[in-house]
Each structure stands twice: as C-alpha cells, then as structure tokens.
Amino acid sequence: MTPIVKIDGQVVDVADLLRALKLSGQYEALVEQFVRDRLTVQAARKAGITVTEQEVQQRADQFRRVRGLHRAADTAKYLDAMQISADEFEAFVTDSLYQEKMLQQVCSDAAAESYFKLNSPRFDSIEVSHIVLDAEGKAKEMISVLADDPDSFEEMAREHSIADTRAAGGHIGKVTRGALRTEVEAKVFNAAAGDVLGPFVSPDRTAFEIFRVDARHVAQLDDATRADVKRLLREQWLRARAQEHVIEPC
C-alpha cells in the first residue's frame, strides 16, 4: 500500500487510513460523495456542457491563490508532496467545473421557482408548543383540562411536562414539514391556530405528547426557502442519477 505519513519513523499507509475511516463511520459518507461527484461529471458531459481551457486556468489560479501558491515552483512542490501529477490536478479542476455547471442548471432560480409554484404547501411552516407526559391517563386528563381552559396550556406545560421545553411553557417554535413524526405532522399541519391535538403516543409507549398550534405561516419564496428548494432539487436529481447506474462496493 502507498505510504501517507510517518509518525516517529512508523509508516502510516492508505490501508491504515481506509481502516480508520471505515471503523469511524466516515468511509460511507466519503464514498457516497465521491460517487455523486462522478455521476454529476458524467451527466454534465452527456448533457453537452463544456468547460473551456480559460475556465480551467482561472479555477486553477484561484486554487493556487487560496493556498498561497504564488509561483509555478510552489505549485509543483505542493503537488509533488501529495504525489499528484499536473495532469491529475488539471483533471480535478476540470471535473469540479463540470459539477458546478451541471448543478447550476439543476438548481437554477427558474427551476426553484417552478418547483415552488407546484409544491408550495410543502414549505409551509407552523409554530407549535407541546406537553409531554409519561402516562396515557395523565395525557387524557390533560386534554380534558385544556378543552375547558385552553389558555392554561403554558401553565400546564411548566407544571406537568417532562420535556426540556417545560420552562418555556412547552414552546417548540417554528417547524417545517418533515420535522415531526408522520402521524403527528398529518394532523398538526392541517389544524388551525389555537387547536390542541393529541395525545400522540411514542413508538415505545413511554411518552404521550399533546400539541398546540400557535401560528401558521404560508411559505414564501424568500432566500431561505429558495435555498431549501435548491437543496431538495439537488438531492432528487442526484438520487435519480444514481438509479441510472449499477453501483456496487468493491
């Protein structure tokens, strides 16, 4: 195996690094990202996206400036130390440009706006509070109390909830779709502000949760939502590309 570094004269090689990455749980994520990068490059070439020599040179110059490699000799020394050839460096820079251009198309402002128009409810958010109790009987009794006196929700949360939100009167704050369990989300996102819902039992039946919808927010395509839409578009596109290929561990 190729040596990487010496520690007090003892060689650490690629096999040592791979073993450490696998045992630490980092290996799978790195391989997944590498595969995604390769698939993006392939898709860019297939789509007819081009990368010019001038763009490669500009990106290479940027790479060198960021690392303080101001002379050609400095760059050559840097690459030699990593055992990377000039051709391999150029290929890396070229591929990074293919990836960037491909994802710019996939996640363009126009694509984000189109997706949002068709799926805007998916990005709605609500503000909620909750009370968590450790017995079903207590939870049912609490629902009865709140039905008679809904304004006592915060007080009941401070006195009886076992959640770490009790000091804040049970207030969780703003949540988006996907942040709550499926069965909870289905009811909470269809409720009106002020509605009290539950109790919802945890999978292990050790907790019983009551929710109050404090406010509803209809999604707007602001900067934060636009970024969320683009992340979703990227993930959907990458998953679709992965399904087009046979990807097997070696």
Instruction: List pLDDT tens digits, range 190-227.
Output: 999 999 999 999 989 999 999 999 999 999 999 999 99
Chain segment 47-93, per-residue pLDDT in tens: 999 999 999 999 999 999 999 999 999 999 999 988 899 999 999 99
3-state secondary structure 71-134: CHHHHHHHHHHCCCCHHHHHHHHHHHHHHHHHHHHHCCHHHHHHHHHHHHHHHCEEEEEEEEEC
Q: pLDDT band at 3, cuts 50/70/90?
A: confident
Chain segment 146-178, per-residue pLDDT in tens: 999 999 999 999 999 999 999 999 999 999 998
- Which pLDDT score is estimated for 1? 65
Q: pLDDT band at 6, cuts 50/70/90?
A: confident
**Cβ atoms of 143 and 199 closer than 8 Å:** yes
- Which pLDDT score is estimated for 4? 82
**Cβ atoms of 194 and 150 closer than 8 Å:** yes
- The encoded tokens of residue 30 equal 């790195």
pTM for this entry = 0.76
The residue assigned the tokens 């960021």 is 66
The whole-angstrom separation of Cα 1 and Cα 13 is 6
Q: Which of 34, 45, 79, 89 has the alpha carbon at shortest distance from 242?
A: 34
Chain segment 14-24, per-residue pLDDT in tens: 889 899 999 99
Tally of CA atoms within 13 A in the half-sphere of 138 that contains its CB: 16
Of 163 and 4, the structure prediction assigns the larger pLDDT to: 163
- Which pLDDT score is estimated for 24? 95
The whole-angstrom separation of Cα 4 and Cα 192 is 60
- The encoded tokens of residue 118 equal 């068709």
Domains defined along the chain, listed by start: 3-106 (1.10.4030), 125-217 (3.10.50.40)
